[in-house]
Amino acid sequence: MLAFFTVVSRLTSGGRLLTGGLLLGLMLTVAPAARAQTWMVSTTPYIKLGVLDKYGALSEYSATFVVIDEKGQEYSLVKQVPKGQNGVDVLFPTEPSDADYFKNAAGRAVQPAPGRYTWECRVNGKKAVSGHFNYPDAGNDITVLGKN
């Protein structure tokens, strides 16, 4: 390697530039040795629920989203909708680390399972809208890339 740099130092500036460019090109074309790669993966489906006071008649209000699973367990999330906003969307499930999250009466976060759910939104304590959805099953496949 020292001999290479000695030869390069004796070249003209144009020769050094050309040699440096060739060396850089060679370094970029040589691939590093392959290693096995393992990926970490996660898939979390979410359902978006929302309510909107279309004409802004209420100004501001409290929206309580209630989701009921197939076993009859209720999970709720309360959102305050300020004046001028008219509506709000929430994601089901929410992460328990969020400030507001879907929880049962004991305060435990929802751990949704695939299946059919019903939901409703109570505005200022009165049922305003309702519906249903199927929470999807999700899974992951991991491919380990070997040295080949």
Q: Note the CATH architecture for domain 47-135.
A: Sandwich (2.60)
Task: Give me the pLDDT at residue 108, please.
Answer: 92
Cβ atoms within 10 Å, residue 143: 8
Task: Give me the pLDDT at residue 43, please.
Answer: 87
Domain with CATH 2.60.40 in the chain: 47-135
Low-confidence spans in the chain with pLDDT less than 50: 1-8, 11
Please tell me the pTM assigned to this model. Answer: 0.69
Task: Give me the pLDDT at residue 148, please.
Answer: 53
* Secondary structure (DSSP) of the chain: -HHHHHHHHTS-HHHHHHHHHHHHHHHHHSPPPP--B---------EEEEEE-TT-TTSSEEEEEEEE-TT--EEEEEEEE-TTT-EEEEEES--TTSSS--B-TTSPBP---SEEEEEEEEETTEEEEEEEEEEPP-------B---
Task: Give me the pLDDT at residue 39, please.
Answer: 75
Task: Give me the pLDDT at residue 5, please.
Answer: 45
Task: Give me the pLDDT at residue 114, please.
Answer: 95
